[in-house]
Amino acid sequence: MCHNQSTIKVFKNPVVHDETKHFEIVWHFVQDKVKEKVVQVDFINTRKQPVDMLTNALGQIKFEAYRSKLNL
């Protein structure tokens, strides 16, 4: 699941854009897996993505709520 809609559009679009050259190898790998239907890239609202606690500064209430969802 991904909350970045631009990333989802890049993976669903068969054209690699100039702006995406820095992750071209990863893009091709994931794109192949999407075509093979091994991976499905879907949108998830950022409010429902508990892994944000590992990458973003959160307030105590949100941090504790996400932590409990991850069973940590």
pTM (predicted TM-score): 0.41
> What secondary structure, in 3-state letters, does 48-63 show?
HCHHHHHCCCCCHHHH
The answer to whether residues 31 and 54 belong to one domain is no
- Whose CA is closest to 52, among 40, 65, 43, 42? 65
Residues 50, 72, single domain; the answer is yes
User: How many domains, in total, are found in the chain?
Assistant: 2
Better-predicted residue by pLDDT, 37 or 6: 37
48 and 30 in a single domain? The answer is no
Q: Return mean pLDDT, the chain.
A: 76
Q: Are residues 70 and 53 in the same domain?
A: yes
Instruction: For residue 19, give its domain range.
Output: 5-35
How far, in Å, are 1, 4, 7, 12, 59 from residue 42 at the CA level?
5, 10, 10, 10, 26
Same domain, 48 and 31: no
Same-domain status, 54 and 72: yes
pLDDT by residue (tens digit) across 19-37? 656 666 777 787 888 889 9
DSSP state string for 26-40: HHHHHHHHHHTTS--
Q: Are residues 49 and 69 in the same domain?
A: yes
